Structure 1
Amino acid sequence: MKAYAVITGMIIAAAGIIAGLFTKDFSKTYWICGIAAAIGIVFSGITMGAFVGGMETRANYFSETKEHHQSRFSLTMLFFLFGLPNLIVVLAVFLIQMYA
């Protein structure tokens, strides 16, 4: 299942690179890969519970079962692994443009 998330993220990253190469305008790469990376990282943060305070975190921790915690962590990793290739592409294109 995690391989599908990485493969899907890599396909979108490849589409962003191809769009940038064909149009010779890498702002399209930034848009495509940047939005995909942001979606992956934001949804990963939401499912992980990174955007809630201490009271909510404590309540969630004590009210969920071990199976629910494992499934939530698995979903968090899927979103993160989806966004990671796109984030790497955005950073690579930025650094290449900056130092080339």
Structure 2
Amino acid sequence: MKAYTFIIGIIIAAIGIIAGLFTGDVSKTYWLCGIAAAIGIVFSGITMGAFVGGMETRANYFSETKDHHQSRFSLTMLFFLFGLPNLITVLVAFLIQMYA
């Protein structure tokens, strides 16, 4: 399942690159890949519990089972692997535009 999510992220990154090349406007690549990367990273943070405080983290830790923790971590990795190729695409496009 993780490989499919990564492949979907690569496909969206490729669509962003193609849109930027055909229109001659790199901002299309920034928008498409940037939004996909932000969605992946934000949802990864939400499922990981990165945006909650200490009391909520402690309550979640003591109330969840090992299976729940593993499934939550798996979902976190799915979102992260979706956003990673898009984040890399945005960074590479930025560096190419900056130094070309």
Cα distance in 2 for partners of 1:96, 1:5 equals 26
For structure 1, the residue ranges without an aligned partner over 5 or more in a row are none
Identity %: 88
For structure 2, the residue ranges without an aligned partner over 5 or more in a row are none
Cα distance in 2 for partners of 1:4, 1:54 equals 34
Cα distance in 2 for partners of 1:81, 1:66 equals 22
Shift of 1:61: 0.2
Give me the CA root mean square deviation: 0.2
TM-score computed with the length of structure 1 as normaliser: 1.00
Alignment of 1:8-47 (within 5 A): 8-47=8-47
Give CA-to-partner distance per residue, 1:53-78, whole Å, 9 cap, x none.
Answer: 00000000000000000000000000
SS, match of residue 50 in structure 1? coil
Shift of 1:85: 0.0
SS, match of residue 51 in structure 1? coil
Q: Which one-letter code corresponds to 1:29 in the other structure?
A: T
> Which portions of structure 1, spanning 4 or more consecutive aligned residues, are displaced by more than 6 angstroms?
none
Q: Which one-letter code corresponds to 1:49 in the other structure?
A: G
TM-score computed with the length of structure 2 as normaliser: 1.00
Alignment of 1:1-100 (within 5 A): 1-100=1-100
Cα distance in 2 for partners of 1:5, 1:37 equals 13
Shift of 1:86: 0.1
Give CA-to-partner distance per residue, 1:18-52, whole Å, 9 cap, x none.
Answer: 00000000100000000000000000000000000
Cα distance in 2 for partners of 1:60, 1:4 equals 29
- Equivalent pairs counted in the alignment come to 100
